[in-house]
Chains A and B, each alone.
Chain A
Amino acid sequence: MYELSNVTKTYEQGKRTVTALSDVTLSIPDGQMVAIQGPTGGGKSTLLQMLGALDRPTEGTIELGEANLSKLGDGKLGRIRAREISFVFQSFNLIPTLSAQDNVETALALLGVRSTLRKERAAAALASVGLGDRLGHLPTELSGRQRQRVAIARALVKEPTVLLADEPTGNLDEETRDEIMDLLEGLWQAQGLTLIVVTHDTAVARRARRRLLIKKGVLTEGA
C-alpha cells in the first residue's frame, strides 16, 4: 500500500529550480496494476524514483506499508529495495560482463540466499520467462526481447511486493512489446504484486485498470 501526500520534488539546475513533481497526493493499494502516462519531461520517471525508494522527495511524505520512504536513510532504503521493490528499465540495464544466470543472481546476492539455492532460483526464474536454455549467455549474445526477459527474471526472482517498470517496452518493436507486456501482466496476476508501469504508449496503458496522467509535475487520475 502506497500513501503519497503532497509530494514535491525539485531539482537544482544551476540557478534554475526545476519542479519535477508538484504536490502529488496518491494512494495505491497492494496488488494493483497502474499505468503512468504523460509527455516526456512530465515527471514520470521522477515519480517512479519516489515510489521505488531511489530518492527522497523535497517535500511531502511517501509511505510503503509501515515504512516512511521520505524519512529513511540510504541504507534503510537500500534494504527495502533489496527485499520488496524490483525494477524493469527501458534499456534493460543488465550487467554487460555477467551471464544471464549471474545477472539474475545479483538480485539475490544481498539477501543472504545460499549459493546453491540462489543458482536454482535464478535458473527457475529464467525458465519461467522462457530462457531456460540461455543461462550462460552474455547480454550481448541475446536479442533485445531476450535481454528484457532476463531483466524481468532478475526483477521477479526475489519475489518482491512491488514491480516498477519505466518504459519497459520503449526499446522494443510492437510485436515484442505485446509479448513483454503479456509476460508482465501474467506475472502480476500470478504473484499478486503491485505493478506500476510508466509508458507513453496508450496500447500499453490500456492494459491497466488504473491510469494516471502526469504533466509538468502535476498528477491527475485518467479515465
Chain B
Amino acid sequence: MFVTYLRRELAGRRKQTAIVAIGMALAIALVIIVNAVSSGVQLAQATVLGSVYGVGTDITVNLTPTAPAEGDAAGGPQKFDFGAADGTTADGTTSVSQARLSAGWGTFTFDQAALGTVSAVDNVSAAAATLSLNNTTFNGALPGSQTQGTPPAGGATPPDGGPDGAGGSSFNVDSFSVLGLDPADEAVGPLSAVTLTDGRSLTSTDAGANVTVLDSSYATTASLATGDTVSIAGTDFTVVGLVTAATADADTAANVYIPLDVAQTLSGLTGQISTVYVQAASSTDIAQVQADIEKALPAATVDTQADLASSVSGSLASASDLVKNLGLWLSLIVLAAAAFLIAILSTISGVTRRTREFGTLKAIGWSNGKIVRQVADESLVQGPLGGAAGIAIGLLGILVINLVAPTLTAGATSVAAAGPGAGFGAGGPGGAGPGFGGAAQAAATSDIVLSAPVTASVILLAVGLAVLGGLLAGVIGGWRASRLRPAEALRSIA
C-alpha cells in the first residue's frame, strides 16, 4: 500500500518530482564540476611543480650564491690545457680530444655533509643529494707542431697545414648536462619526476658503476640507445635506460643521469653536492623543516613548494588563483545552497498543497509517523533521482571540459643551472661565465592541458549530497506534514 502510494505519488506528480529532482541535480552537478575542475587545476599546478622541481619534493636546499672565492669549485670558465704530448698525430695533424666534467653554470657545490645535516632534521622523511654537472668535450685538430717548428733540411715544401687546408685548425666543442644522483633514493629528487621509457632506471646496486640513464630526447639527438656506450669525462658509460622528463625545461632534467659517487670522482668534486631534495613527513611539517634546515645550514637557500608555487605564473596561476578565490567558492556554495533550497521549498509547498490529502489520511486513521514517512520517502527517492541526474549532468560537464581541454600556460621562474647544450658557447675558454656571481634566471614555460579528473570521492560526495538533500527535504517536509491537523480534511475549500 505504502509503496504503491509512494510510486503513484512520484509518478502522478511529475512536475513536483521534476522540480525537486532538478534542484537537487543542479546542486550536485555544480559540486561535481567545481570539485573536478579545482582538482584539475591543482593537478596541473602539481604537474608543473613536479616537473620543475621533482615529484614528492617539499623543500630544496641550494647554496646561496655569494661573491666567488678564489679557487671556488663552482662552474667557472672552462679551460682546456693541452700538453705537448697530448693528442695523436697523423698526417702531420695533431688531433686532440679532451673531456671535462665540472659543475654547471650557476651551480654552487657544497659539502655532502649537508645531506646528513638535513636528514637529521626532525620530520624529514627523505632527503637526496644531487650534483649538477656539465660534460664538455673538446675535439680539435691542429697542424702538427713538430713539422711546423722544425722544417726538414733539404728545402722540402712545408706541409699543407690542417684538414682545412689553410694551415688553420678545427675545433668541435660539445656539451651536455650530467646529473649525479644517489640511485638508492627513488622517492625524492629528480629521477622521481621522470618516466622510464626504455631499459631500467638506476638502482642502488649501480653505485660506483659506470652506468647511465639518458634523457630520451637527448638520446635521440645524440643517436644513442639502451646498451650503447657514452663517453663522460673520457670514461665510457653503459646506457642502461632512457627516461622522459615531464617537461624538457625542467630544472631537474638533465641529459645524462649517473650515480652520484661516480659523478663526484670524475668531476673531481669529491664529497661535493649541489642540491639536496627534501621530503617532509607531512605537509604540516614543511614550515618547521624549512626553519630547522635554515638554522642548521645558514648559508643555504631553503625553498619550499609554497615558495616554488608562488613562482608559477601564466594562466595556470590565474586559474589556481580563481580556484582559491573565496568569492567564487562562496558564490558556488550559495548557488548550490539555493538549488537545495528550491528542492526543500518545493517539497514544503508540495506538502502544503496536499494539506487536505494528508488531513484526509489522518482523518482515516493514518498515524503522524506514517504520513511523515510517506513524505520523507518521497523526498528520499527524489533526492537520489536528482542525484543521479546531477551526476549525469556533472559528468557531462566534465566531459565537455575534458573535450575542450583548455590549455593553461605555466611559467616557473627558477634559479636554474645552465640548460642542456647552452654551456660552452656562452662561457667559452677564457670568457667570463655569465652565471657566475648571480645564478642564471631561466624561465621554464610549459603548456598544461587542464583535465578535470572524476574521482570516486567526487561521486561519493555527490551521492552523499543527494541523500543529504533528500533527507533534509524529507525531514522538513515531513515535519510540516506532521503539524497538519486532521481537521483540515473537513475544510471544504482547500
A residues near B166, Cβ cutoff 8 Å: none
Q: Does the CB pair A52–B363 fall under 8 Å?
A: yes
State A174–B261 Cα separation when bound (angstroms): 110
Q: Does the CB pair B5–A98 fall under 8 Å?
A: yes
Q: Check if A118 is an interface residue, CB within 8 A of chain B.
A: yes
**Given A54-B485, A54-B489, A82-B364, A93:B1 Cβ within 8 A:** no
State A75–B360 Cα separation when bound (angstroms): 16
B residues near A74, Cβ cutoff 8 Å: 368
State A79–B362 Cα separation when bound (angstroms): 10
Residue of B nearest to A111 (CB): B365
Shortest CB-to-CB span from A160 to chain B, Å, is 10
B residues near A170, Cβ cutoff 8 Å: 492
Shortest CB-to-CB span from B356 to chain A, Å, is 6
State A106–B4 Cα separation when bound (angstroms): 10
State A48–B229 Cα separation when bound (angstroms): 105
A residues near B361, Cβ cutoff 8 Å: 95, 106
Residue of A nearest to B364 (CB): A107
State A111–B1 Cα separation when bound (angstroms): 12
State A105–B1 Cα separation when bound (angstroms): 7
Interface-forming stretch among A30-38, A83-91, A203-211, A215-223? A83-91
Q: Does the CB pair B360–A49 fall under 8 Å?
A: no
Chain B CB within 10 A, most for which of A45, A89, A102, A115: A89
Q: Check if B295 is an interface residue, CB within 8 A of chain A.
A: no
Q: Check if A154 is an interface residue, CB within 8 A of chain B.
A: yes
State A160–B357 Cα separation when bound (angstroms): 21
Interface-forming stretch among B7-15, B109-117, B179-187, B194-202? B7-15
B residues near A78, Cβ cutoff 8 Å: 362, 365-368, 486
Q: Check if B80 is an interface residue, CB within 8 A of chain A.
A: no
Q: Does the CB pair A49–B1 fall under 8 Å?
A: no
Within B196-221, the residues touching A (CB, 8 Å) are none
A residues near B363, Cβ cutoff 8 Å: 52, 54, 81, 87
A-B pairs, top 8 by smallest CB distance, nearest first, are A82-B365, A97-B12, A93-B360, A109-B1, A97-B8, A81-B365, A54-B487, A54-B486
Q: List 18 A-B contacts (CB under 8 A).
A: A45-B492, A52-B363, A78-B365, A78-B368, A81-B365, A82-B366, A87-B490, A93-B357, A93-B359, A95-B360, A97-B8, A98-B8, A102-B1, A106-B361, A106-B366, A110-B370, A111-B365, A166-B492
Shortest CB-to-CB span from A122 to chain B, Å, is 10
A residues near B171, Cβ cutoff 8 Å: none
Shortest CB-to-CB span from B410 to chain A, Å, is 57
What total of chain A residues lie within 8 Å of the partner, measured CB to CB? Answer: 39
Q: Does the CB pair A93–B356 fall under 8 Å?
A: yes
Q: Check if A96 is an interface residue, CB within 8 A of chain B.
A: yes
Residue of B nearest to A155 (CB): B364
Within A109-143, the residues touching B (CB, 8 Å) are 109-111, 115, 118, 138
**Given A90-B492, A106-B366, A98:B485 Cβ within 8 A:** no
State A205–B365 Cα separation when bound (angstroms): 28
Q: Does the CB pair B364–A106 fall under 8 Å?
A: yes
State A154–B11 Cα separation when bound (angstroms): 23
Q: Check if B2 is an interface residue, CB within 8 A of chain A.
A: yes
Q: Does the CB pair A87–B1 fall under 8 Å?
A: no
B residues near A82, Cβ cutoff 8 Å: 364-366
Residue of A nearest to B362 (CB): A78
B residues near A48, Cβ cutoff 8 Å: 490
Q: Does the CB pair B489–A87 fall under 8 Å?
A: yes
State A89–B490 Cα separation when bound (angstroms): 7
Q: Which of B2, B9, B356, B486 contacts A109 (CB 8 A)?
A: B2
Q: Does the CB pair B12–A96 fall under 8 Å?
A: yes
- Binary per-residue interface labels of chain B (143-160) against chain A in the complex, 1 for a CB within 8 Å, 0 otherwise: 000000000000000000
